[in-house]
Chain A
């Protein structure tokens, strides 16, 4: 190693260090460069399409099970029974958000658009069971029993109506009443 190289080494070390230190000094003295967000006092603006926790609007849900089928990690579980009006009635709808990977495939396929991402992202829990979101508070067995009762009632009514239709001497009023009775069951759900 010649003397020139030796001196060059020293000069280069000093200049490159000085260059770097000038940059760090600029950041050091400029308070505008601070980018820390003081969570939880400050929060960032959540964009419109944010994929947070899932929420199912059970009123519009048709229990078509598309979401269950498409979920790659099987985090959605759904139980349903066929109601008196031939529509499916949800008995339970649970999402395990501890398992969910927020891919959004279920939201994309939902036909009535009842399943949606919310902007929620804060959740901590010490028990795994708390990470399962129950969208229907009522016990599944109770709902099933009630729907089964309604179905049975409706069947009886329908049977009666059929019988009424068949027997010519019965007035049309009775048939209408039976139909009304059957229709009343629906809004109760």
Chain B
């Protein structure tokens, strides 16, 4: 039987999704063209959160820009802090005391856990299960407690400094970190039982928005999004910085365990598994942290030599690359921040073609974008 489409004329519908929409993870706007429930085109429109961080960076000193990196990815402020510090240190060739590097690794990995927790929690909430989201928030609060103890703030930490960290770990911090890890590790299995392998959840995620490995590479995806496509590339392993080479951990990749490699479920599972690896790293770091100073000698009026440096670090949402140009003055001449979410947004239009409206939400969640990082 052939269906006569001329008898019932249909029209494509344009729907505006966002900037105020519960599952666009902020102020992302997506212009959907749909044929009923099927999306024929989804064009992302970003920039609602543009604050001109790169322009601000040209007006403040290297040290003063540190608090602004908190606002780059507020769910992983520690990673952005440390990325900035590492970038400036690469530019100025500063040696950082080992204890400071250990502390940085500890806070970066703890923040990776808390950031992935939000990714996991908000993803399940997008899929309609609200309970895991609150469980994730509960665990994240503990990480925030640790950070509050360490640096005094719960969200915008401003902890790293050019040449070290702002303060040594207060007494009891490392013990509390260990306590948290012991508490947290079994929770991951609970999440898997509760939601990860739930039939409905798997069906919603598996085989949705498959990004093949070649495409992921061509689009420059990084972090969990790249690894979800089965490419074992992790900057902590492959372009090691800081003291990461001293730790034993595994690079988690998507294997297509419930569908095609590179689908939403793989990207989701990579994040869950990465939390486990982060726990391992923090355990090792806490056990081996050396004594010593936490701050190198950096002149108060810090002027790096003229030059250009590009530093890449592995943030929870992919590579955060900082391209710094110094003209030898106290302010950066130009800085460009390349973020994982910004690149991930580029592939959005391509992978969402032909999906359903509900899948758009799944794709946004699985790419784990965060808008301040896209818009800067």
Contact = CB atoms under 8 A, between A and B. Distances in A.
Whether the complex brings A and B within 8 Å at their CB atoms is answered: yes
Interface of A: 9, 12-13, 16-17, 19-20, 23-24, 35, 47-51, 70, 72, 101-105, 108-109, 117
B158 interface: yes
B200 A13 contact: yes
B194 A50 contact: no
B193 A105 contact: no
Nearest to B202: A16
Contacts of B60: 72
Given A16-B198, A16-B199, 6 more contacts: A16-B197, A19-B194, A20-B194, A48-B170, A102-B153, A103-B70
Interface stretch (B61-69, B104-112, B231-239): B61-69
B193 A49 contact: no
Given A24-B131, A47-B148, A108-B166, A103 B197 contact: no
Contacts of B194: 19-20, 23-24
Nearest to A109: B300
Given A47-B152, A50-B152, A104-B158, A20 B67 contact: no
B138 interface: yes
A104 B166 contact: yes
Given A13-B199, A20-B193, A24-B194, A72 B64 contact: yes
Interface string B111-151: 00000000000000000000100000010010000001111
B220 interface: no
Contacts of B198: 16-17, 19-20
7 contacts: A17-B199, A35-B141, A49-B150, A103-B67, A104-B152, A105-B158, A117-B152
A105 B67 contact: yes
The 3 closest A-B pairs by CB, nearest first: A103-B67, A51-B152, A13-B199
Contacts of B97: none
B190 interface: yes
Contacts of A12: 199
Contacts of B166: 104, 108
Interface string B257-276: 00000000000000000000
Given A16-B198, A47-B148, A23 B158 contact: no
Contacts, number: 68
A101 to B, nearest CB: 6
A108 B200 CA distance: 52
A19 B193 contact: yes
Interface in B160-178: 166-167, 170
A117 B138 CA distance: 27
B195 A20 contact: yes
B156 interface: yes
Nearest to A11: B199
Contacts of A105: 63-64, 66-67, 158
Contacts of A9: 199
Among B150, B166, B190, B199, find the residue whose CB has the most chain A CB atoms closer than 10 A.
B199
Contacts of A35: 138, 141
Interface in B37-60: 60
Contacts of B151: 49, 51
Contacts of A117: 152
A117 B197 CA distance: 47
Contacts of B66: 103, 105
A51 B153 contact: yes
A105 B190 CA distance: 41
Interface in B209-231: none
Contacts of A17: 198-199
Contacts of A109: 300
A23 B193 contact: yes
A168 to B, nearest CB: 50
A6 to B, nearest CB: 13
Contacts of B150: 49
A90 B158 CA distance: 29
Nearest to B139: A35
Nearest to A37: B141
Contacts of B158: 103-105
Contacts of A103: 66-67, 70, 156, 158
Contacts of A51: 151-153
A117 B193 CA distance: 44
A96 to B, nearest CB: 15
Contact of B156 (A23, A24, A70, A102): A102
